[in-house]
Amino acid sequence: MDYYLDIQVQPDMEITTPALLNNLFAKFHRAMNQYCAGKVAVSFPLYNTSLGDTLRLHGSQTDLEQLMIQPWLKGLRDYTTVSAVMPVPANIVGYRTIYRVQKKSPHNLRKRAVAKGRMTEQEALTKIPDSLQERLILPFIQIQSLSSQQVMRIYVAQGNILSEPVKGELSSYGMSRTTTIPWF
């Protein structure tokens, strides 16, 4: 992943930065599955208590150029500024992972316990109350699942800075707990 490009969202009076970033990421997720599955990673260079206004894509020059000639940004062109595909700078901070964090809801834990025969429905309600729900304090992207039509949150965490890159598999969200991207 020696090349990158930045896509910065441009909010206006009607659409907020988070809403635009959500739409941008949902379109990227679909495009990644169609055009470059497992070949492009994401990062959020302004990551803090929010994800910021920029989605950075990392990959080879060829993969990024092939992705960007596709019409996946249709409908967002007026709300985004897309940089050229550029080589990663020589003076990077290091390498880090960008990954999704998921927590099972009490509802899903109860459903699974009953389906596996470990508890009855009443036992599950008593032993796994809604009060056990953990709150994640991480920035997130909210997208609608194409398969179930449910709105879901993709909580995003960053790993520690490493001195050497680690190659591996990327999810359909362009994230991984093991594969690193250059951080700058």
Is 58 one of the annotated active-site residues of the chain? Answer: no
What is the rounded CA–CA span in Å between residue 65 and residue 91?
23
Which of 27, 29, 58, 110 is flagged as catalytic?
29
Q: Which amino acid is at 181?
A: I
Q: List C-alpha distances in Å: 67 to 60, 87, 135, 156, 160.
A: 11, 16, 35, 23, 28
Q: What does the DSSP assignment read for 8-76?
A: EE---SSS-HHHHHHHHHHHHHHHHHHH-TTT-EEE-TT-SSS--SEEEEEE-HHHHHHHHTSSTTTTT
Query: Could you give the residue numbers annotated as active site?
Result: 29
